[in-house]
Chain A
Amino acid sequence: MTDMASLMEDRAAAKVISDKVQKPVDWDSPKIARNIKKRYAAERRFKIYGLSAIGVALLALFVLAFSIGSKGYTAFFQTYVQLEINFDPAEIDPNGTGDPAVIGKANFDDLIKKALLARFPDVTDRRDKRDLYGVVSGGASYDLRERVMENPNLIGQTRKIWLISGDDFDMLNKGYIDANVDEGSRRLNDKEIGWYDALVSDGAVEKKFHSRFFTSGDSREPELAGIWGAAVGSFYTLLVTLFLSFPIGVLAAVYLEEFAPKNRFTTIVEVNINNLAAVPSIVFGLLGLEVYLNVMHLPRSAPVVGGLTLALMTLPTIIIASRAAIKAVPPSIRQAALGLGASPVQTVTHHVLPLAMPGILTGTIIGMAQALGETAPLLMIGMVAFIVDIPGGALDPATVLPVQIYLWADSPERAFVEKTSAAIMVLLAFLILMNGLAVYLRKKFERKW
């Protein structure tokens, strides 16, 4: 009875208000026209702001790419010097055994030195000789040994061989050393530049594609240093990170989103996950140092420790992204499944997760890309060490791409400048690859409903 009465009252009140508002509007008045004009101007302004924002972003990106690319592309090429090498049997295999063990121990360095002295017979001074040997890289003897091991018939012959040059000659050939400045203020003296010119006029200097950069580990010699060791280290580290943070992150997100009761405890958990995402990464590094190295005594500098540390850092990203993706699954799908008698776990695994997967994968890959570019926490757990060998597993000492960039950027040799830029390009290429993968996976798993 009272319900009816109140309903009727509401209606009466509504009628009074509508009577007041009903006033005719002159849609052609100048005031309305002004208003329309203002609105259009605002829309145009807004569009211009948006376009200029995108323009600034593109410009910044272009400047970055150009500066890195123009500095770094030369690192993909390396100067080689052609020398006439006499594969003297007396030096390589005096007894003519043909035994690889004997050949392997031969002093190939000497062969190169002799070839250099043969080319420049007037160099006699000890200091000049040492400078002359610098024309060819210290690593060239290993290449020579490999060549002979592969083809023992070379022994006894004299061949023209392309040898990898020293880093200063490489720099000179690439134009980074200016021969016109005062002798005292450049890396190479006049004699060295004279040898270089002589070799050039012989046609014995050439730039070739530097495949070693992609296949070898770090080195003190810039011309021998490669990115592969760091890339493999990054791979193992990310593998560990992925295998830890993806399942833990997704399960945490599923629990928080689908099963957890909404109470004070879950609110605290939620707030702290968001806080964790904002913690500086160096703090995670310190935590990794204390827990994994000092308490658990895991191997120092190993990808497994790096991966564990980065997993801590990536977790919040994955949890937050996964929760958002799970939340975006329409509740009607859950109700449909529950209404059919699917258990909550079946509802999640059969329906919610597959639909949320594109978002979860995108978040995971973004988290992984972040981990790939992370340096600070890895410095704390010793992945900043100078490591020449290519890691064979997650327990071997290793370094990672961004740390390699940091190490090279810190090196005094001029040739490491281009290596640094080249390493940045490799890192960026990996990042682009991963983001591309994220887009691809999102497209692939996306389903309409």
Chain B
Amino acid sequence: MTRAADPLAAGALGATLPPLLIAAERVAATVAQGVHGRRRVGTGENFWQFRPFVAGDATARIDWRRSARSDQLYLRETEWDAAQTLALWCQNDAAMAWRSDPALPTKAERAGLLALALASLALRGGERIRLLDGANANAAGITAGNATLGLLAAALGRAGPGLPQVLPPAFSQIVLFSDFLDDPTAITAWLGQLTALPARGLLVQVLDPAETSLPYAGRVRFALPGGTLETTIARVEAVRAAYRAKLAAHQESLRRLCANAGFRLLIHQTDANPAPVLLALHQALSGQ
């Protein structure tokens, strides 16, 4: 497996954007303190309502300023502020660890960089992060802080191949990083589960430029990284146009799939600057 995404690079990348406050219509009922008001009484910082004193209330909670304006005693209650959860997942298989040129980062590196940068933004916004991988779902760090990024990076590197077996908490936001070159039917089924949670989010397709352009020529024996799948193409240049059309069609079907599930699809190439896609992620998640 390739090296995990560099937490420092991710922090530097995230520092170019303001803290991420995830736009949340509904927030999962968690005990975690956050910034999203639950419109009910609970633990929080914001004033919610005054309530008449009933027997059994602790006298320490009486709001004397309000009580002085009438004869009744009132208690001051705050709104329940909860944190939103951002679930992240990076596909981590041999195909993701491939690059066409040693000068380029692997797709896994770029995906990890984006994921960590996003996580850093969310942590600074007081949100919670969860990694969706079966191996260590429970151990995934929830806390904020600089050390968290390192833990997250290590956890990303330990992730297993294949789609995550763990579902995110309900009402959370999900960002999935992968090349999504597999058969879309598997993704369709998984997205259906997410929709049912309910959960919303984004799919980020990270592609190598060679996967977009198919720059090879002549007689080439292609092999799947980490797999046994092989095929020989006699004249690659002859199938280049067809391949590009096929890729476009594949991306179109992915986009339709996402639209049906309430997701959005972002496409990123590893030879491009990661900042624009991070900005797009920020805007999409913050509801702007």
User: Do they bind each other?
Assistant: no
Q: Which residues of A contact B (CB under 8 A)?
A: none
